[in-house]
Structure 1
Amino acid sequence: MPQELPGLYWDEEKQRYFPLTSRSRRPQVAGPTGSTSHPPTHWQPHSASQATGESQNWKRHRIRSLLRASEDARSSLRTSHTNKLMHQISCSQVVQTSHVASSSILSHTHCAITAFQAVSYDNSLHSFAGDTGGWFYSSVIGQGESATGYHTSHGWRPEFSLSSEISSICISGSRCIATSFGPESKILHFPLDSDSEDIRVTRVNNRSVRDIWTADLQGTRLVLGTNDQAVVIDDAADRATVCFLKTSSDVFAVAQDNNIIYTGSRAGIVRRFDSRIASTKGDCIFNDPDTTQNNSVTNLKIFYDWQLLTSNIDGGLAMFDLRFPVNRTPIMSFTGNINSYTTKTPIATDPHNQFLFAAGQDRRIRLWSLRTGGPPLVSPDSVFQKPFEDPIRALQVVEEEVGVLGLWATSGAALHKYNLGQRMEEKSQAMQH
């Protein structure tokens, strides 16, 4: 007997299978008495039932797929709503911060602090600071020690003097580099691991290089923002290759992303350079002559490999999409910052890229959500509402423990630490228990 196949019937005369849907058109078969008849009817109900069963299975499968897709969509919406709600709660907590501790770096010169950086390395918190007198200080706090108390009582040690104002401090891996500003700018190499190498000072062997405004260290590559150009040192330790990127304007801001280098200049122009290409001309990106002319770029920061945060001397803060460098319209703007002529107005973001902090010319720190942009987050009880007596020269957010963020700010000779999201009454209750 021919094999019964779902959805098909066997034609004895033609010795082949046909679809059940063509049964009404199938040829008649001569019976034993010469009369014509259809193929044996006992196949038909069975094949039909199989076809019906398959159709029902397909319908059930389709319904289940639709239900799963619907549930996935609802789950995604719930997750998105939950994340948005959690972010709003975090914003509310951070903006209501009311606990801040202040200390002075023990400086025998009593100069203003101009640069600050802290990093967790080898189970310790390493902090570095530089002042207007050119002194470079370090502090190491062991795991479990109180950072604020340690900084207040002792621990800051003058390491070296570069003779002129410390203009930047940057850290990558186990190396810290500090630069000085002036006609004879210097570069201080300071190892976090004192057993690995000695402290040393170098210069760029080019008389045209002076006034190091800023620096960025990624791996072993150091980029300096100087007068009318950026200087790229491929290996900061060995100074193997030095390249000069001409910008025709003082470089106030630099940022690196693998082989790509971004510069922000006094002229208000952001340029993009590819270190793999011999040409040093670079490309102007996000350039709008109506808004960038004489609006110096003071800070650059890269997010998620495709977003660039810029700050300008007019107080403007904006996020641009690096995938569309000719688009002059930012994807997000942060309004309300105040500045008009100060080039040293620092910005900082938390390690999870949720919040943006910026120092204004009015000596206040403002806070924004990096998800929504717009005006700054405010609260009448927040310590961020109170202005400092001296300009704010450095900002950094450090995650000292999982989920515990601290904002460090320098003003004058003082170092201030904000325990983000913590209120004074919470601190008092914690100390009582």
Structure 2
Amino acid sequence: MPQELPGFYYDKEKNRYFPLKGPIPGSSRSSSSTNKAKKSSTNNTQASNFFRRTGVRISQLLQSRELNGNVITSSKGKCDFVEEFLKLQASQPVVLKYQSTEKIADSAMDQIHIDIHTAEGQTEAEVLLTGSVNGSLSLFEVGKVGEHNHGVEFIPDRMRPAIEENRAECGKDPGCIWRPPGASLHMSSNISCIKMCGKHSPFQRALITTLGSETSGGSVYILNLVEPVDFDSSSALAEMMRKTAAFNCTIWTADCSYNSNRAVIGTNIGAALVNLETGMTSWVCRSKSDVLSQQLDPSGNVVLCGLRNGAILTVDVREKQERVSDRLIRHRIPYSSLGRQGPSSSKQWFEVKGNIYPSRTIFMPSSICSLVMLQSYDQYFLASSMDGLIKLYDQRMTKRGGEDCNLRLWSIKSGKLLYEEKISDSVLSTVCWKRSERLVKTLNEGKSYEKCLSRQNHSWGTWFGSPEGLFYISWS
């Protein structure tokens, strides 16, 4: 039911609020009416300014939209209702911590939809695939679907906000998660990466890599998610797993495109392409500095490689590369030309081999820990280094935090810090979010807030993993 607003009534047919007193639509306004309208506009502007300065409820922001429309005027200029709405949501999240999930999702994680078999028949389920530094791989069913498989239940504890009624007007949280009997597996070494990939669908299969150990290198695995999963089997996850390739080096990271059978692997000696069907590998970049992070562009032709020495390389993977590293093109990239000093006074450059673009190489002050391209503007990408620096290339940069265990959320458009709080006593090392319809689209279409919540289906919620456990942050 629509919420009652003082001085307004709700019209079901027109799906909006109207003032209880006012001129007849289409009639001329008197001078006194005009003065009242100006006064009302001034009051609304003051209310808008109040919204921007202080924490407000969503109902207040919706009331402002009914008075002013989608464009809200303030002393700083005009602002968009959708943007203000999303900023408000970002600053008032719900934080959940799941019991008994220590060291389950502290190295890799991704969220997917799969088909599963239940006693009632085949159904679609939302699942969370997690990996840990101790080598355990787990699959959790999100919501009530997991009850049918008699798995282990993990119950969330509300951390923020302390009073539940503060969130009465917002969307639902995922609730309990379930781990079916056959949905856990111990890998040969630490799990370093989990990424979704597929030839026709982004949810066909998962790419999983292991770090490697003192006695053996890392490996590349494929988790087949094409067929419906039957968790009645005690070895369901193991039966779905296939080893694709093995390396004689450490695998730190990986990435794959949704419409390709290839994956790119980041190791301690460079980057390699892996054919996920045949297992054939070819080196596209060799470096003495470890490749700690990677990001393929939407075309799958270019990969960004973030190195331990702070360099971000642009590697072209379109041309066929030779398997012998000596045949790769050698490049000497000077530190000085990139505004950075070498690790020692005698070290003025570093060497890499591959089909790279030396002029596009950039540097950050320390090791690159994350590279992410923006979905709306894929010509830009965010890069973060281990000293806490975040840069958006080529637009701006902002410096915050690092290993202080704080969770921060920024507006990419304005650079404003929207939310900051310490929710874990250990570093939040993994993150994933659901890929679904955006709330912005439904709001721009003029849908009611209630319809927006039903259509987005928890789309603005994010999973975080740390050695301390599994967390869920909800902004919906």
Tell me, yes or no, whether TM beats 0.5: yes
In 2, Cα distance between equivalents of 1:112 and 1:128: 9
**Higher CA-based Rg:** 1
For 1:181, which of 211, 216, 224 is the aligned residue? Answer: 211
Which SS does the other structure have where 1:163 is aligned? coil
- Shift, 1:171, TM fit: 0.6
**1:179–1:413 Cα change, 3 Å:** farther
The answer (yes or no) to whether the contact 2:108–2:194 under 8 Å persists in 1 is yes
Question: Within 5 Å, which residues of 2 pair with 1:119-158?
Answer: 119-122=112-115, 123-141=124-142, 148-151=174-177, 154-155=179-180, 158=183
Partner of 1:394: 430
Is 1:200 aligned with 2:242? yes
Unaligned 5+ segments in structure 2 are 1-69, 116-123, 147-171, 230-238, 322-327, 329-353, 437-453
In 1, Cα distance between equivalents of 2:462 and 2:78: 26
Partner of 2:291: 251
Partner of 2:389: 316
Partner of 2:90: 94
Partner of 1:224: 265
Partner of 1:21: none
**1:386–1:79 Cα change, 3 Å:** closer
The answer (yes or no) to whether the contact 1:297–1:311 under 8 Å persists in 2 is yes
In 2, Cα distance between equivalents of 1:129 and 1:105: 14
Which SS does the other structure have where 1:203 is aligned? strand
- Shift, 1:191, TM fit: 1.4
Question: Within 5 Å, which residues of 2 pair with 1:27-176?
Answer: 84-97=80-93, 99-104=94-99, 113-122=106-115, 123-141=124-142, 148-151=174-177, 154-155=179-180, 158-172=183-197, 173=202, 174-176=204-206
Q: Which amino acid letter does the alignment assign opposite residue 467 of structure 2?
A: G
Which SS does the other structure have where 2:434 is aligned? strand
For 2:224, which of 191, 207, 211 is the aligned residue? Answer: 191
In 2, Cα distance between equivalents of 1:312 and 1:130: 22
**1:285–1:165 Cα change, 3 Å:** farther
In 1, Cα distance between equivalents of 2:306 and 2:145: 40
For 1:335, which of 372, 386, 399 is the aligned residue? Answer: 399
Q: Which amino acid letter does the alignment assign opposite residue 209 of structure 2?
A: T
Q: Which amino acid letter does the alignment assign opposite residue 169 of structure 1?
A: I
**1:105–1:202 Cα change, 3 Å:** farther
Is 1:273 aligned with 2:315? yes
In 2, Cα distance between equivalents of 1:242 and 1:412: 34
Q: Which amino acid letter does the alignment assign opposite residue 417 of structure 1?
A: Y
- Equivalences, count: 297
Q: Which amino acid letter does the alignment assign opposite residue 136 of structure 2?
A: W
Which SS does the other structure have where 2:108 is aligned? strand
**1:241–1:333 Cα change, 3 Å:** same
After TM superposition, the structure 1 stretch with the greater mean CA deviation from structure 2, 115-124 or 260-269, is 115-124
In 2, Cα distance between equivalents of 1:112 and 1:369: 26
In 2, Cα distance between equivalents of 1:79 and 1:155: 49
Return the TM-score normalized by structure 2.
Answer: 0.56
For residues 215-273 of structure 1, the C-alpha deviation after alignment (integer angstroms, 9 at most, x for no partner) is 1121321111111201111x313224533421331001111122111111011111112
Q: Which amino acid letter does the alignment assign opposite residue 216 of structure 1?
A: D
Q: Which amino acid letter does the alignment assign opposite residue 455 of structure 2?
A: V
In 1, Cα distance between equivalents of 2:304 and 2:381: 9
The answer (yes or no) to whether the contact 2:104–2:470 under 8 Å persists in 1 is no
**1:121–1:82 Cα change, 3 Å:** farther
In 2, Cα distance between equivalents of 1:365 and 1:239: 38
Which SS does the other structure have where 1:385 is aligned? strand
Return the TM-score normalized by structure 1.
Answer: 0.61
**1:85–1:192 Cα change, 3 Å:** same
The answer (yes or no) to whether the contact 1:264–1:270 under 8 Å persists in 2 is yes
In 1, Cα distance between equivalents of 2:304 and 2:383: 11
The answer (yes or no) to whether the contact 1:126–1:138 under 8 Å persists in 2 is yes
The answer (yes or no) to whether the contact 2:114–2:228 under 8 Å persists in 1 is no
The answer (yes or no) to whether the contact 1:221–1:232 under 8 Å persists in 2 is yes
The answer (yes or no) to whether the contact 2:141–2:179 under 8 Å persists in 1 is no
**Percent identity at matched positions?**
22
For residues 3-62 of structure 1, the C-alpha deviation after alignment (integer angstroms, 9 at most, x for no partner) is xxxxxxxxxxxxxxxxxxxxxxxxxxxxxxxxxxxxxxxxxxxxxxxxxxxxxxxxxxxx
Q: Which amino acid letter does the alignment assign opposite residue 253 of structure 2?
A: T
The answer (yes or no) to whether the contact 2:173–2:474 under 8 Å persists in 1 is no
- Shift, 1:142, TM fit: 6.8
The answer (yes or no) to whether the contact 2:265–2:272 under 8 Å persists in 1 is yes
User: What is the root-mean-square deviation of aligned Cα atoms in Å?
Assistant: 3.1
In 2, Cα distance between equivalents of 1:106 and 1:387: 15
Partner of 2:32: none
